[in-house]
Amino acid sequence: MCNIEHLFLQAIRFTVLILITTCITQCIHQDRNEKDFNNKQRKRKEDLKTPCLNIFPDDPYLFNIEFQRDSLYKFRLWFPELAIFNCDSSRAITEEIAPGEWAEKTENGYYVTGKIYENGRAIDFKYNISVFSNEAVKLELQVKNTGRFPWSEYAQLAVCLAPACKTFSDTIGNRTFIQTELNLLNSIKKAGKVDDFNHYPVKHRNDTNDPDQRFQVASGYVSRANADLNYSISFIWDESARVDVNPGGLDCIHSHPAIGPLKPGETITRTGFIVLTNTDAEQNFDFSRNLINQSLDLRKTH
């Protein structure tokens, strides 16, 4: 009888030991799984904070933009291109810009200020250029009229985006796109004559001083596809006065943010995006327009 009781107690001890060992093993595995999950979440957050897109300056008004996730494509952004337009024939010359100071580097980009004079008119501007996502660079511009005279509704800052690789060269204009009607894109080749430099005023912002009413566009959206037609780079603002395209030479595209009409002392804010997508122009347009609409909705809630 004693042997049976002894064996029974040993069996109970062995069973308890197995249960305890199993419980400890499960706890260890659970802890490892939680650590793996937390590490993955932390890495995901780090990836979002440091996307595969770099911005770095050459000087206060020239930035290099590198998209690194899929394409390694590089672009150069002149913002502003040392120029301001109040009508088609009126442009501030390079020497009249008064550079501002660099502010501290922001989390995902840079913050720049400056001043431009033009025949008694003046603006103070400041803007932030930052990484928005792996596909997009965000531009936030604030302009104040610090001069004695108003700026017209045609007034705009000249902003230039130029590819640093020949695959985005488009000498005949069939891979450069503008919005000619709501939700409709046409290449500039279809839109009209293709010169070394073409500019199109945005509808309702015509230059009244220009007797030659040029081909109009419906928005400030402008894009260009690469030679393989599998990537599209675009430039868009919530309010633009004009888009420019240069099929030859620098191969640059321009979307000029509207700074008028602006009375002395008034301030306006503009939001823009530079977007590189692994798509055709139509899909790039939808993506870019959604970014603008979201930024406008966000601005209304603040």
Q: Which tens digit of pLDDT belongs to each residue from 75-116?
A: 989 888 777 787 765 555 444 556 555 555 677 778 888 888
Q: Cα separation of 55 and 64, whole Å?
A: 6
Q: From 18, 33, 49, give the residue that closes a domain.
A: 49
Say whether both 228 and 241 belong to one domain: yes
Q: From 11, 27, 49, give the residue that closes a domain.
A: 49
Which residues lie across from 54 on neighbouring strands? 66
Predicted local confidence at residue 1, as pLDDT:
52
Whether residue 51 has a cis bond before it, omega within 30° of 0: no
Say whether both 192 and 231 belong to one domain: yes
146 within 8 A of 152, measured Cβ to Cβ? no
Q: From 31, 49, 67, give the residue that closes a domain.
A: 49
Averages of pLDDT over each 10 residues, the chain, 302 residues? 61 68 67 56 42 71 78 83 72 53 66 80 88 91 92 88 86 85 75 65 69 72 91 93 76 90 95 93 93 83 66
Say whether both 3 and 67 belong to one domain: no
Q: What are phi and psi of 167, to 5 degrees?
A: -65, -20
Predicted local confidence at residue 197, as pLDDT:
63
Q: Cα separation of 164 and 77, whole Å?
A: 10
Say whether both 40 and 147 belong to one domain: no
Predicted local confidence at residue 237, as pLDDT:
95
**9: helix, strand or coil:** helix
Q: Cα separation of 94 and 81, whole Å?
A: 9
Predicted local confidence at residue 113, as pLDDT:
84
Predicted local confidence at residue 95, as pLDDT:
43
Q: Is the CA virtual torsion 104, 132, 274, 58 positive or negative?
A: positive
Q: Cα separation of 11 and 13, whole Å?
A: 5
Q: What's the full length of the chain, in residues?
A: 302
Q: Which residues constitute the domain of residue 33? A: 1-49
Predicted local confidence at residue 90, as pLDDT:
59
Say whether both 74 and 202 belong to one domain: yes
Say whether both 135 and 211 belong to one domain: yes
Say whether both 183 and 58 belong to one domain: yes
Q: In CATH, what number is assigned to the domain containing residue 286?
A: 2.70.98
Say whether both 198 and 258 belong to one domain: yes
Which residues lie across from 206 on neighbouring strands? none
Say whether both 82 and 214 belong to one domain: yes
Q: Cα separation of 142 and 211, whole Å?
A: 31
Say whether both 79 and 215 belong to one domain: yes
Q: Cα separation of 59 and 297, whole Å?
A: 33
Say whether both 34 and 63 belong to one domain: no
- The domain total for the chain is 2
Say whether both 183 and 154 belong to one domain: yes
Per the structure block, which two tokens stand in for 218?
């419906």
Predicted local confidence at residue 274, as pLDDT:
95
DSSP 8-state secondary structure symbol assigned to residue 202: B
How many other C-beta atoms can be found within 10 angstroms of the C-beta atom of residue 184?
A: 10
Per the structure block, which two tokens stand in for 100?
């501002």
